[in-house]
Amino acid sequence: MLGNISPAGLAARFANLSQKWVADGPAERADRARRKMLSAIAEAEPATLNQIAKSVGRGAPAVSRSVDSLVRSGLVERTQDPDNRRRLALRLTKAGRDELTHAPKAGEGLRMKIERLAQSELRAVERAIEILER
């Protein structure tokens, strides 16, 4: 027993606090979905909508809308398959490849919260992390 709290109680408080600090918000989910689509296209180039839908576990209409967005963003190019005119071939553009090589944006909110801490608080958090990593 540590003071008035048990290790189990301390663990519960820490788990609750960590969920508040590292919340998975809409921006993180959208970034993760975008990267998943780009990865699926990169793995199957030249990819078809059906291949991507199967790879990401979504329906073809939803994947088609996502691909439209990626094309508008300049991350994916969509061309007609020379072997089958009714089928589209999807390939990453240079910008799409570059986005996949960069680290994901997840954790941006956490970074902003940590930047607001005082230097003494940063040292205390760093020490706590060192203890927890053991």
98 lies in the same domain as 114: no
What does the pLDDT read at residue 1?
Answer: 46
CA 102 from centroid of its chain's CA atoms: 11
pLDDT band at 109 (very low <50, low <70, confident <90, very high): low
What does the pLDDT read at residue 77?
Answer: 95
Residue 100 pLDDT greater than 90, yes or no = no
**What pTM did the predictor assign?**
0.62
Does 122 map to a domain? yes
Q: Judging by beta carbons within 10 Å of its beta carbon (0-12, 13-18, 19+), is residue 49 exposed, middle or buried? A: middle
> Does 7 sit behind a cis peptide bond, omega within 30 degrees of 0 on the bond before it?
no
Q: What is the count of structural domains for the chain?
A: 2
What does the pLDDT read at residue 106?
Answer: 55
Quote the domain boundaries for residue 38: 24-102
37 lies in the same domain as 77: yes
36 lies in the same domain as 89: yes
31 lies in the same domain as 71: yes
